[in-house]
Chain A
Amino acid sequence: MTHPVCPLSAIPPGEAYRWAVEPPVAIFHTEDGQVFAIDDTCTHQDASLADGWLEGCEVECPLHASKFDLRTGRVDAPPAKRPVRTHAVEVVDGVVHVTLSTEAPNLPPGPAVADSALTDGAK
């Protein structure tokens, strides 16, 4: 299902927006004007990738500097081992639309998993 999330103008180039779905999604607007959506939570430990450092099509986790490719979700630099889930993005009439992936997310162990387990009633 596709969701309208926010106007693209709300995310300056080089910035990110944290969309508070469960689990949260980070939407990145690169300096080149491209838009990507990935799961916001680093797959290594609980940290928001929207708070990370965006360089080209790569985001660096603000906690331990794991790097993820925004296009594929692939780990470019450890300590993360598992990719982040990517979501399809489309900008329609200046509004960012995200189609959430139906794959299982790669959430880190700890609070994020525990919290979502409580919310969803299943792990």
Chain B
Amino acid sequence: MTGTGALRSIAVVGASLAGLAAVRALRGQGYDGEIVAIGAERHEPYDRPPLSKDFLTGRCAAADLALGDPDEDLAVDWRLGATAVRLDAHDRGITLADGTEIRADAVVLATGARARQLPGTGGLAGVHTLRTLDDAVALRADLAAAERLVVIGAGFIGAEVASSARSLGLDVTVVEALPVPLAGPLGVEMGTVCAGLHADHGVRLLTGTGVARLLGSERVTAVELADGTLLPADVVVVGVGAQPNVEWLAGSGLELAGGVVTDAAGATKLPGVVATGDCAVSFSPYTRRVTRTEHWTHAHEQPAAAVATLLGGTVDNPRREYAPAPYFWSDQYGVRIQFAGHRTDGDAVRIIEGHPDDRSFLALYERDGQFVAALAMNQPKLFTRWRRQLRVPAAAPALMTPGVSA
């Protein structure tokens, strides 16, 4: 397939941030053929980050989450509430759950991820995960009538839900299996600082604690910890990560390894099929690792690279690797946390502005004397400047040890 002329129809599977970004990139990069976009949820593309924050507290409504722009004419055949269940590699045929077959000259896989469930918690009322708008609507309704919330998992979703519920006046306990929350992305030192926000706001954080089971017959009444402690709960939120929606691709010929394996430009093993967003496991030229990235900015920006790969890499629109410094943010307890770069164990952390105790600071991560990542609390301006420095493409590989991959 060379150039866009050969492509008459493209199917985008997934209609969230990455799927919409792919559609926009297709039009933006000059593709004027047919686009069918398939979304498992019945909603038009919407923004997920507010679900754990302003949407949960009632400060914004579902209509405020819309990603699409009514003035934007993308000429897309949206198939919403339709789950893709099979991809045929030979003719790029996609089978939907209702039996519908869709044939396309090329396919963008952007099926995202879903919330991981805690085994043995199914069927108990009052137990929630938070990934979709429907999840958030259900949780919001349940929180309105609740007094005690237990959050299982002190990652970003768990922390944001705890923060939102606390602002609604609930008694909140957060349970984390690791000794230090967020130690993976932020390191032990800064993970400890971020976890301190819970105590600042009267939320109890229990770390290094496993969950044995949930109690209750029809509705949850308590969480029993591994050490036998009972935490009474009207509502439980399980925030223990996400898993990619790629099971439907088994047998398609795609390489699946905790996601759809792609190169740095989104190409899969199948010609005419690219993968992007949370469902893709991609080599990152920046971190020099093969990773599945769940960050909003990645799902927003990376599809343009995958689409350029799909459209064939013309002179005007060259094939390009997606290689920026990873970036994510979290809003908790009125504090804006921002992180950019790639941290690994052993990096030194240096506070260059403010103080963690003031919940306003900028920390740099350094490796072999080189700046590799930045973390900020309530320092957006300074953070933006340091994040910019991480964007310099030539600087990144020099900072990394070549040949390291996950």
Contact = CB atoms under 8 A, between A and B. Distances in A.
Interface of A: 45, 47-48, 50-53, 60, 62-65, 78-79, 81, 109-111, 114
A78 B69 CA distance: 10
16 contacts: A48-B380, A48-B381, A51-B380, A52-B381, A62-B338, A62-B380, A63-B329, A63-B336, A64-B297, A65-B297, A79-B300, A109-B50, A109-B54, A109-B59, A109-B61, A114-B59
B300 A64 contact: yes
Interface of B: 24, 47, 49-50, 54, 59-61, 64, 67, 69, 296-297, 300, 329, 336, 338, 380-381, 383-385, 388
B60 A62 contact: no
A53 B50 contact: no
A48 B384 CA distance: 12
Contacts, number: 50
A62 B59 contact: no
Q: Which of B50, B61, B380 has the most CB of A within 10 A?
A: B380
B24 A78 contact: yes
A79 B67 CA distance: 7
Given A79-B47, A81-B69, A53 B384 contact: yes
Contacts of A63: 329, 336, 338, 380
Contacts of A78: 24, 69, 300
Given A53-B388, A110-B54, A111-B54, A62 B61 contact: no
A78 B297 CA distance: 11
Nearest to A110: B54
Contacts of B383: 62
A50 B381 CA distance: 8
A111 B64 CA distance: 13
Interface of A is mostly: loop
B296 A51 contact: no
A87 B60 CA distance: 27
A63 B340 CA distance: 12
Contacts of A110: 50, 54, 59-60, 64
A113 to B, nearest CB: 8
Contacts of A53: 384-385, 388
B219 to A, nearest CB: 31
Nearest to B383: A62
Nearest to B58: A114
A109 B384 contact: no
Contacts of A109: 50, 54, 59-61, 64
A52 to B, nearest CB: 6
Q: Which of A48, A110, A111 has the most CB of B within 10 A?
A: A110
Contact of B384 (A45, A62, A111, A114): A62
A111 B380 contact: no
A47 B380 contact: yes
Nearest to A45: B50
A37 B96 CA distance: 50
Q: Which of B59, B64, B300, B385 has the most CB of A within 10 A?
A: B59
Given A65-B297, A79-B300, A81-B69, A111 B59 contact: yes
Contacts of B61: 109
B114 to A, nearest CB: 22
Nearest to B60: A109
Contacts of B385: 53
A62 B374 CA distance: 14
Contacts of B388: 53
Nearest to B47: A79
Nearest to A50: B381
Given A63-B329, A64-B300, A109-B60, A51 B54 contact: no
B50 A52 contact: no
Contacts of A52: 381, 384
A48 B47 CA distance: 20
B18 to A, nearest CB: 13
B379 to A, nearest CB: 9
B169 to A, nearest CB: 17
A81 B50 CA distance: 16
Nearest to B65: A109
A73 to B, nearest CB: 15
Nearest to A47: B380
B21 to A, nearest CB: 8
A47 B383 CA distance: 13
